[in-house]
Amino acid sequence: MPPSKAKPNARRRPVVNIAPLATSIGVRFVLARNRLGKLQTCAEDMEFWARKRARAIEKQAEGQLHFTDPYDERVYAESLHEDLDHFRTIVPDAIRSSLFLLCAAAFEHGMLGTAELLMRRVIKDEDKLASLDRMSDTGIFRAAALYSAVAKVRIRSSRNWSDARALAAIRNLILHNNGTLTPGAPKAREINSLIRRWQPAVVKGEYGRLTFSDSFVERAIGVYESFLSDTRREITRWIAANPMVDPE
């Protein structure tokens, strides 16, 4: 029996084209910056909403209400006071802490994602890949180690490295110690240094609890965006100087 011929309309397996390394790296950085931009807009919208709610409660408190029972009047006044404190302090603190954590996550994901991509596209030796995979560093510290090992790009010398380190420590402080800076806390010196430089965007209050103003998230995003831009520029320069890692 003669071999059967393939049907003319048979589906063929798609050809997978791998994007140039510089393009893939650039896309990762752009996505990270876009994410930070959206979080900035979200922070602004939520701050506006909290201020609007506080003003509404203030206006309600200024209204003239007449109570026949003094107890009812006192309960009403205390309720308004609690609501006002809620939208002046508790809600803004929750907004700023939560949005900052999301921004820190987006930044670390972008930095580490590009570092991992660079490693797997450049390093072909399985033993070296396994050795890099076993590194104990995490977050931006792992990204810094990978950039240095793979491309000799030292992001630790970036103008924003000290701020990025301190912000990473503040992130961990929020997650693991309710945002409270104790004298023996890890990276306490770096956090205190950032507080001195950034006040009043971040302030250490009673018992070491950190509080953030409405400018803190924006300032943190500025550090992250600048760091991403600096790193992208250095990686792109390295790829251009080493064309064999990214052949056409």
pLDDT at 158: 79
Q: Convert the pLDDT of each residue in 36-64 to its tens digit.
A: 999 999 999 999 999 999 999 888 877 76
Q: Convert the pLDDT of each residue in 107-138 to its tens digit.
A: 999 999 999 999 988 888 888 889 998 888 89
| CA 34 vs CA 30, 102, 107, 221: distances in Å | 6, 13, 11, 11
Alpha carbons 221 and 201: distance in angstroms, whole number: 13
Domain boundaries, the chain: 21-60+69-155+217-239
Number of Cβ atoms within 10 Å of the Cβ of 25: 23
Q: The whole model's pTM is what?
A: 0.84
Q: Are 44 and 221 contacting, i.e. CB atoms less than 8 angstroms apart? A: no
Per DSSP, 86 falls in state I
pLDDT at 70: 81
Number of Cβ atoms within 10 Å of the Cβ of 45: 11
Alpha carbons 201 and 96: distance in angstroms, whole number: 11
Alpha carbons 154 and 145: distance in angstroms, whole number: 8
pLDDT at 48: 95
pLDDT at 15: 41
Alpha carbons 154 and 148: distance in angstroms, whole number: 5
Bridge partners for 210 per DSSP? 204
pLDDT along the chain (248 residues), means of 10: 54 53 91 96 95 89 75 78 86 95 96 93 88 89 93 86 95 94 89 95 93 96 95 91 69
pLDDT at 174: 95
